[in-house]
């Protein structure tokens, strides 16, 4: 069985026996609950998955937890969204006016320009780029001009985009 522990930016995955993986998971979960405080309750989905195995019912440390898990009402998984923006971003520096397009693999809330200024990313709007070469991309941008050119990252050709007030986004000019 594969056991994987991950946080944004790093992870570890190991292949270990099923019973050892379950014991390790329980120990890690217990440590995380201790570190995170007792206000957080364990996710019911994971514990219910563990209760299905008859070998675990005989373990003495699992007996007190079973009634507690049955008393917790099942809640739908909440999507945790970290602050900031990710994906293709097209940012204009308010100090020097230089524009940079890039792909943020993790969510960011600030952008540091080559000139040294830091731009806080807020009120980013969608921008759709459709090049004649066939490349389509969806960006988020902080631009405020009614129209401007963006360079296609495949062929290098300029693609003119304009603000569409009704849709609330930048789209290619026709």
If we measure between CA atoms, which residue out of 77, 106, 75, 76 comes closest to residue 89? 106
Q: Pick the closest to residue 112 from 86, 91, 88 (CA basis).
A: 91
**pLDDT tens for each residue of the chain, 174 residues long:** 777 787 777 778 888 888 888 888 888 877 777 776 555 555 545 444 444 444 444 444 444 444 444 444 555 555 556 678 888 999 999 999 999 988 889 888 888 889 888 988 888 999 999 989 999 999 999 999 999 999 888 888 899 999 999 999 999 987
Cα–Cα distance, 68 to 42 (Å, whole number): 10
- The pTM for the full model equals 0.52
**Under 8 Å between Cβ of 137 and 150:** no
Looking at the DSSP assignment, which residues form a beta bridge with residue 112? Answer: 118
Sequential DSSP letters for 112-155: E-TTS-EEE--S-EEEEEE-TTS-EEEEEE---SSEEEEE-TTT
């Amino acid at each position: 069985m594969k056991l994987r522990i991950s946080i944004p930016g790093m992870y570890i995955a190991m292949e270990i026996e099923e019973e050892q993986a379950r014991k390790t998971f329980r120990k890690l979960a217990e440590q995380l609950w201790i570190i995170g405080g007792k206000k957080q309750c364990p996710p019911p989905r994971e514990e219910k998955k563990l209760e299905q195995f008859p070998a675990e019912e005989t373990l003495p440390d699992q007996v007190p937890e079973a009634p507690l898990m049955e008393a917790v009402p099942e809640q739908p998984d909440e999507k945790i969204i970290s602050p900031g923006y990710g994906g293709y971003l097209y940012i204009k520096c308010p100090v020097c006016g230089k524009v940079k397009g890039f792909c943020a693999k993790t969510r960011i809330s600030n952008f540091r320009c080559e000139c040294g200024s830091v731009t806080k990313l807020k009120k980013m709007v969608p921008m759709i780029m459709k090049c004649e070469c066939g490349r389509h991309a969806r960006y988020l941008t902080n631009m405020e001009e009614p129209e401007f050119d963006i360079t296609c990252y495949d062929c290098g050709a300029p693609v003119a985009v304009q603000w569409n007030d009704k849709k609330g986004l930048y789209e290619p000019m026709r």
